[in-house]
Amino acid sequence: MIYYVSAAALRPGDGSEARLFQTIQEAADIAQSGDEILVAPGVYREHVNPVCGGGDADHHHCTRGLWLDWQAQGTRVTGNLFHDNVPPVGTEIGDGMGEDLFVEVSHGPTLMDHNLFLSPCACHLSTQGLAFVHNLIAGSFTFVGIGTDNGTKRFPSPRYTPYHVPHSTALAGFMTILHGDARFYNNLFVQKPIREDLAAYAKDTGWAGLDKLHFRCGTKPYDGYPTAAQYFGRFTAESAVDGEIRDMYYDHLPVWSGGNAYFNGAQPWDGERDAGVDTTHAVMLELAAEGDRWTLRTNLYEVLPARQLPVITTEFLGEAFEPEQGFTQPDGAPIVFDRDYFGSCHGESPLCGPFAEGAVEFRL
């Protein structure tokens, strides 16, 4: 089903092409899985809460759990359980692998906090302007640094995609994707066993590689990206007039990170200085359906070391590079990330990951 929305609609409608809805929320109230909502250009001053989406949602057994394409500016993905978004064992793998989340050619800010990404491929990140805060991630980040051109044979073909005036649908400009501009704070990364059929598919299709399709959990695909000090330190009065060093204008944007913990061989990127890498303990993650709920069983919190981690805030995360917009509420209000997956308070020195308190079993 396709629903049509226009802020310029003259009267209340039913979402048909002839009688458009006046607000996005009207369409979100009735849209079901697989429906499309086509929004006409205009200014929509509203906070949209889809009835079939939002917090505490469960996205599983799809080829893709959630796809944020192009103008994901200002989007917040929070309090979700993603799992099994991959071809099941024994099935033929078609065109593409699938993942929990795909963010494509967006300039951000795009915020992911207090989620569980449990599929073999957690996030396909052909994009920039990201923040991952207090997530449990048990899959890989794929296609980091590539996938943002139009695939021409002879000429460069970077895709110019729009960004907006902050908290508005009004266009501010178009720009290519430099990649990076990514933040990773207070996350848990747990490497799971790699399925042999998935690894074979990546190899046979020619897509295997750390910057393409792989199954290595952690921020490792961002190796070689500059820190903020390295990136912005290049721009001096001397470099601005030196015609021999123009490459710096086209380098990847910086990456920020801190307070993350890595288990079972999950690996940090080479610019992360305070990564908590555990090479001693074997961490188990077991997700089971019980009635209409899912239960996560783990020994993770039995081996997670105590650390003094900061409470993450909008101010702490800074602004996405291109739109110069912070990681805020839809109305621009700042966020203090002091509430966990269940809504409980993290406290002054939070644990990394989506839960405020450790346990061996979580009813999700």
What are 275-320's pLDDT values in tens digits? Answer: 999 999 999 999 999 888 899 999 999 999 989 999 999 999 999 9
What are 245-264's pLDDT values in tens digits? Answer: 788 889 999 999 999 999 99
Please give the backbone phi and psi of residue 343, each rounded to the nearest 5 degrees, phi first.
95, 5
Between the alpha carbon of residue 350 and those of residues 79, 209, 212, 266, 314, the distances in Å are: 17, 35, 33, 21, 16
Lowest mean pLDDT among 77-81, 237-241, 269-273, 302-306: 237-241
For residue 9, name the pLDDT band (cuts at 50, 70, 90).
Answer: confident
* Residue bearing the bigger pLDDT, 240 or 227: 227
pTM for the full model?
0.87
Cβ partners under 8 Å of residue 307, min gap 6: 259, 261, 276, 349, 352
pLDDT of residue 52: 64
**CB neighbours of residue 224 within 10 Å:** 13
CA distance 134 to 112: 8
What are 170-189's pLDDT values in tens digits? Answer: 899 999 999 999 999 999 99
* Residue bearing the bigger pLDDT, 69 or 56: 69
Domains of the chain: 1-52 (no CATH), 56-363 (2.160.20.10)
Tell me 175's DSSP state: E
* Identity of the residue numbered 22: Q
Q: Which long-range contacts (C-beta less than 8 Å, at least 24 apart) are formed by 270-277?
A: 270/223, 270/224, 271/222, 271/223, 271/225, 271/226, 271/227, 272/184, 272/219, 276/305, 276/307, 276/352
